[in-house]
Chain A
Amino acid sequence: GAVVSQHPSRVICKSGTSVKIECRSLDFQATTMFWYRQFPKQSLMLMATSNEGSKATYEQGVEKDKFLINHASLTLSTLTVTSAHPEDSSFYICSAVPPRQPQHFGDGTRLSIL
């Protein structure tokens, strides 16, 4: 149990495009999900905490208008990278917290902006 599904696994698109990434908890409800960014050969950096039914909490230095987060249901959070540019290319990973368990992670989305 406690599966987190992330989609798509890979996106390649042109500069200026907006890209939406979905994070779903498949067999549990998650009031809180987390979005991370990982640069090559580096650790995960928390971008924001996604809260069902309310605004996301962004970490310092993360642009809210650039990275839009919507947590409209207890099983789905989305991250939209607006007007993406090459510097936004990265590996984005979400996680969700099952009841009384540690964070479970999705398989990540590799975003490449040309």
Chain B
Amino acid sequence: QQQVKQSPQSLIVQKGGISIINCAYENTAFDYFPWYQQFPGKGPALLIAIRPDVSEKKEGRFTISFNKSAKQFSLHIMDSQPGDSATYFCAASTDSNTGKLIFGQGTTLQVKP
């Protein structure tokens, strides 16, 4: 019940296209859903996050869509660029005291020029 399942494992998108990565969870107590971006040889960095009281959050070309009833959330990257090529992780948490995160398996995105 603590798992977060992420798909697809890898994704290839043409420059200018839309990249979509999906995550599903079971634990309805999760109350924070971040997305992390990781470039090769670097540590993950927070990209965008959402709480379950809103259905969508947008920051620039990155949007999180949240479907509480389906227990799913997704990351949309509009106008994808080669510089967006990275590994993306979704995560979830239910413990603001410790900040512990449960991560998805990761998606490797390649944006072709």
On whether the two chains bind one another, the answer is no
